Amino acid sequence: MKKLTGPVLIQIIFTAFFACLAAAEEGPTATPIKHLVVIFQENVSFDHYFASYPRALNPREEETRFTALPDTPAVNGLTEELIRKNPNSVRPFRLGRDKAWTCSPGHGYTTEQRAYNGGRLDRFVESLGPSSIICNPGTVMGYYDGNTVTALWNYAQRFAMSDNFFGSTFGPSTPGALNLISGQTHGAEAPDETPDIVGGTVIGDPDPQLDDCAVRGHRIKMSGKNIGDLLNAKGVTWGWFQGGFRPTERAAGSDKAICGAYHLSGLRPIPDYLPHHEPFQYYESTANPHHYAPASAASVGRTDAANHQYDISDFWDALAAGNPPAVGFVKAPAYQDGHPGYSGPLSEQSFLVALINRLQKSRFWGEMAIIIAYDDSGGWYDHVMPEIQSPSKSPADALTGSGLCVKENPGFQGRCGFGPRLPLLVISPYARRNFVDHTRIDQTSILRFIEDNWALGRIGNGSFDEKAGTLDNLFDWKDPYDRMFLLDPVTGEVRSK
**C-alpha closest to that of 476 among 430, 424, 428, 426:** 430
* Three-state DSSP class for residue 39: strand
Q: What is the pLDDT of residue 25?
A: 58
Pairing, β 35-41 against β 327-331: parallel
| Residues in CB range of 145: below 8 A, 6 or more apart | 51, 52, 53, 55, 56, 57, 66, 94, 153
Q: What is the pLDDT of residue 134?
A: 87
Alpha-carbon dihedral of residues 54, 57, 59, 65, nearest 10 degrees? 0
Say how far apart CA 341 and CA 336 lie, in whole Å. Answer: 12
* Three-state DSSP class for residue 318: helix
Q: What is the DSSP letter of 12?
A: H
Instruction: Specify if 348 maps to a domain.
Output: yes
Alpha-carbon dihedral of residues 209, 211, 215, 216, nearest 10 degrees? -30
| Residues in CB range of 181: below 8 A, 6 or more apart | 226, 227, 228, 279, 280, 329, 447
Chunked into runs of 10 residues, the chain (497 residues) has average pLDDT values of 50 44 68 98 98 95 92 97 98 96 96 97 97 91 98 98 98 98 97 93 97 94 98 98 98 95 89 98 98 97 97 98 97 97 97 98 97 98 97 96 88 96 98 98 98 98 97 96 94 88
Cis before 294 (ω within 30): no
Q: What is the pLDDT of residue 265?
A: 84
User: Which pTM was predicted?
Assistant: 0.94
Q: What is the pLDDT of residue 267?
A: 74
Contact indicator for 310, 284 with CB cutoff of 8 Å: no
**C-alpha closest to that of 291 among 322, 333, 245:** 245
Can you give the CATH number for the domain in which 167 is found? 3.40.720.10
Say how far apart CA 337 and CA 343 lie, in whole Å. Answer: 6
Instruction: Specify if 187 maps to a domain.
Output: yes
Residues of the domain holding 186? 34-44+145-378+409-496
**Half-sphere exposure of residue 87: CA atoms within 13 angstroms, side-chain side:** 13
Instruction: Specify if 340 maps to a domain.
Output: yes
Q: What is the pLDDT of residue 216?
A: 87
Terminal Cα-to-Cα distance of the chain (whole angstroms): 29
Q: Across the chain, how many H-helices and E-strands are there?
A: 11, 20
Distance of CA 63 to the CA centre of its chain: 27
Q: What is the pLDDT of residue 131?
A: 81
Contact indicator for 115, 124 with CB cutoff of 8 Å: yes
3-state secondary structure labels for all residues of 236-294: CCEEEEECCCCCCECCECCECCECCCEEEECCEEEECCCHHHCHHHHECCCCCCCCCCC
CB atoms inside a 10 Å sphere around CB 294: 23
Distance of CA 79 to the CA centre of its chain: 27
Contact indicator for 281, 309 with CB cutoff of 8 Å: yes
Instruction: Specify if 21 maps to a domain.
Output: no
- How many structural domains compose the chain? 1
Instruction: Specify if 183 maps to a domain.
Output: yes
Instruction: Specify if 66 maps to a domain.
Output: no
Instruction: Specify if 58 maps to a domain.
Output: no
Q: What is the pLDDT of residue 15?
A: 43
- The one-letter amino acid at 267: L
Contact indicator for 35, 326 with CB cutoff of 8 Å: yes
Say how far apart CA 295 and CA 275 lie, in whole Å. Answer: 23
Contact indicator for 194, 203 with CB cutoff of 8 Å: no
- The phi and psi torsions of 60 (rounded to 5 degrees) equal -70, -30
Contact indicator for 287, 281 with CB cutoff of 8 Å: yes
| Residues in CB range of 178: below 8 A, 6 or more apart | 184, 185, 202, 222, 279, 282
3-state secondary structure labels for all residues of 154-202: HHHHHCEEEEEEECCCCCCHHHHHHHHHHCCCECEECCCCCCCEECCEE
Instruction: Specify if 25 maps to a domain.
Output: no
Say how far apart CA 101 and CA 411 lie, in whole Å. Answer: 40
Contact indicator for 183, 465 with CB cutoff of 8 Å: yes
Say how far apart CA 121 and CA 119 lie, in whole Å. Answer: 6
Say how far apart CA 199 and CA 84 lie, in whole Å. Answer: 42
Can you list the pairs that 21-24 forms with residues at least 24 positions away whose Cβ atoms lie under 8 Å? Answer: 22/237, 22/322, 22/323
